Amino acid sequence: MSSTIIDSIIFGDIFSDEAMRNVWSDENRTQKYLDIEAALARVQGRLGIIPKEAADEIVKHCTIDQIDMAKLKQQTERIGYPILGIVSQLNALCRDKLGEYCHWGATTQDITDTATVLQIREALELIDDDLRAISGALADLAKRHRDTPMVARSNLQQAVPITFGFKMAELLSAIERHRERLAQMRPRVLMGEFGGAAGTLASIEKGAMEAQQGLMEELGLAQPLIAWHTIRDTIAEVGCFLGLVGGTLGKLAMDVKLMMQTEVGEVYEPFAPGRGSSSTMPQKRNPISSCYIHATISVVRQHAAALLDAMVADHERSTGPWEIEWIVLPEAFCLLSGALKQSRFVLSGLEVDAERMREVLDMTNGLVVSEAVMMGLGPYLGREYAHDLVYDICREAIRKKRPLLDLLAENKEITKHLNRAELAKLCDPSNYLGQSGVMVDRVLASVRKH
């Protein structure tokens, strides 16, 4: 019976993703332990650290179908860690006591940490795929709506005109930075561990460093310069990366939620019959995916903080901080996978109402372009005086509920310099988009092609 949102039969594929759950499953983790033990045996057999016959025998049994998972559960509960249970079962499976050479010179944390890194490598591949897809969807929206005017908002108030393409390109630029971070992070993070009891490999008299190098080459991981049993910056970096990605997805979700408000109605999540409906209010269309994104990434951020806390480890082998990672790292990845999946869904079918965006721009009777008017009058009246004059006229427009253009055209100080046609041009939001299009193009040109 499942009891967490990630493993829930009902909610699991809403707040998480099956492929990511598989990466962090007991079965995959246990197979990673076996993969490492097999690789270690092969390398040590090749180097003559253990008998070649023993290495072949150990490798032959390093498949999960030969492991008694119920027994492993019991062993782990008794011992406190699963690795000794794995080694014990492998030893029993091997003939002629050749299994005694299994795990030669290694310690529990070597195998556990290296398995975690292998899982991280698989998980980052999934995230990379999602980020690539999200980047493509954002790029498409930015390109299609490069010149679609809408209002920018500051403190939830209408500010100045921008384009919807500009809004999407801003998010796209962040996603592209996350893709860059991921590429830069891999060489640091994808580093295995093989140091023995306190990290010095003292238990292997000859060929210790060669065995470490060979093991990492077998696994396709970087060789550490020194043991990192209680130096956990790379794991914390992964957590911070997940938190950063989640923050950007949360920003997307926040804006979609706000733009879906009845009073705004500028965009909508993709439609499906019944999706987002209320049990009592038939007219409602709730921002379901955005709500899920908000919830999941909020927890991911807390997990990132926990991974930073896990860095504060005691001496050469810690008493508790290490186990924090066991709890939160799989959850962080799984929850982020859910946010990524929901984001892909939102962006792949986002409904954009350009007409409504224009209506919202016009709803203040021209006040949204007050900055444009102020800047247009600045060369004639001085910027500060123009600001104060336009400010007073805006207050009057609000009080009398009249178009800003009409009041501007009635002001003799202003009409000495600009006629109504010229003022109308200043009051057209589509004429005050600044360098939006140029910036959109710059972001689109920077998108990674792979």
Helices (H) and strands (E) in the chain, counts: 19, 4
Backbone angles phi, psi at 316, to 5 degrees: -95, -15
Reduced to 3 states (helix: H, G, I; strand: E, B; else coil), residue 106 is: coil
CA distance 255 to 249: 10
Residue ranges of alpha helices (H) inside 260-351 are 288-309, 321-348
What b-and-e string marks burial along 191-205, b requiring 16 or more CB atoms within 10 Å of the CB? bbbbbbbebebeebe
Would residue 344 show up in a list of annotated catalytic residues for this protein? no
Residue 150, beta-bridge partner list: 162
* CA-based nearest residue to 270, from 350, 342, 353: 350
| Distance from chain centroid for Cα 41 | 37
CA distance 60 to 41: 11
Residue in 2, 203, 278, 446 annotated catalytic: 278
* CA-based nearest residue to 123, from 290, 400, 335, 399: 335
Q: Taking each helix axis from N to C terminus, what angle separates 108-144 and 83-93, rounded to the nearest 10 degrees? A: 110
Would residue 317 show up in a list of annotated catalytic residues for this protein? yes
Reduced to 3 states (helix: H, G, I; strand: E, B; else coil), residue 108 is: helix
Residue in 177, 317, 402, 420 annotated catalytic: 317
Position 40: which residue type? L
* CA-based nearest residue to 218, from 32, 395, 368, 20: 32
CA distance 168 to 172: 6
- State the catalytic residues: 278, 317
